[in-house]
């Protein structure tokens, strides 16, 4: 009988099967680059600083509203989306859902939850605080709670988030928030 040569991949799969870890088809614990966890965890640890910085950044973006309006929001959408994707992709592993919840989720992006839960963790968080689907990944929502406790407006995590509007995917939430704030400001000044 021929000897069965066990390849490293088979050995890892065997070990995993023995551990009983559940892995749905098409999802690999190694799918996400480990260095991203490191940056993501840094963002959560520094959520208060990022909250402060985002506040200043949003104000600056709003100040530029006349410029965006003059060029046309539609025209600037593409370059701004490119910048947003790269900056937030590096810092938060952003999935460009287009309706950013970071300021309400302790700077931990909820779209990194394999179940894409936007309102808290599922019942499967492991005892070590990791995800049940991706066992080597810290649960996005455990991190979100930790990050929110450092933030000045951290209780925003208690606010119920709307379901994701899929039609906004791959659009800039920076521009949307700015356009909405500018519209609200104009409406308020008309009423006054």
Q: Residue numbers of the site for ligand SF4 (CB under 6 A)?
A: 88, 92, 94-97, 100-102, 109-111, 173
Q: From the CB of 76, what's the least distance to ligand SF4, in Å?
A: 17
SS (H, E, C) the chain: CCCCCCCHHHHHHHHHHHHCCCCCCCCCCCCCCHHHHHHHHHHHHCHHHHHHHHHHHHHHHHHCHHHHHHHCHHHHHHHHHHHHHHHHHHHHCCCCCCCCCHHHCCCCCHHHCCCCCCCCCCCCCCCCCECCCCCCCECHHHHHHHHHCCCCCHHHHHCCCCCCCHHHCCCCHHHHHHHHHHHHHHHHHHHC
CA atoms of 45 and 138, how far apart (whole Å):
13
Q: From the CB of 18, what's the least distance to ligand SF4, in Å?
A: 35
Q: From the CB of 108, what's the least distance to ligand SF4, in Å?
A: 9
Q: Nearer Cβ to ligand SF4, position 10 or 165? A: 165
Q: From the CB of 138, what's the least distance to ligand SF4, in Å?
A: 16
Q: Nearer Cβ to ligand SF4, position 113 or 182? A: 113
Q: Nearer Cβ to ligand SF4, position 65 or 118? A: 118
Q: Nearer Cβ to ligand SF4, position 94 or 157? A: 94
Q: Nearer Cβ to ligand SF4, position 111 or 131? A: 111
Q: From the CB of 152, what's the least distance to ligand SF4, in Å?
A: 19
């Amino acid at each position: 009988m021929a000897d069965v040569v066990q390849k490293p991949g088979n050995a890892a799969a065997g070990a995993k099967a023995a551990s009983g870890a559940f892995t749905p088809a098409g999802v690999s614990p190694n799918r996400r680059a480990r260095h991203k966890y490191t940056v993501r965890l840094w963002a959560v640890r520094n959520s208060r600083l990022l909250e402060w910085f985002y506040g200043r950044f949003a104000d600056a973006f709003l100040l530029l509203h006349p410029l965006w309006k003059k060029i046309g929001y539609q025209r600037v959408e593409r370059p701004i989306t490119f910048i947003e994707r790269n900056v937030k992709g590096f810092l938060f592993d952003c999935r460009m859902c287009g309706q950013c919840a970071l300021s309400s989720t302790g700077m931990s992006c909820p779209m990194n939850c394999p179940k894409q839960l936007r309102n808290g963790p599922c019942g499967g968080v492991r005892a070590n605080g990791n995800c049940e689907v991706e066992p080597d990944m810290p649960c996005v929502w455990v991190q979100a709670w930790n990050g929110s406790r450092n933030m000045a407006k951290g209780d925003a995590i208690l606010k119920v988030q709307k379901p994701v509007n899929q039609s906004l995917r791959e659009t800039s939430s920076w521009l949307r928030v700015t356009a909405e704030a500018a519209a609200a400001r104009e409406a308020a000044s008309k009423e006054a």
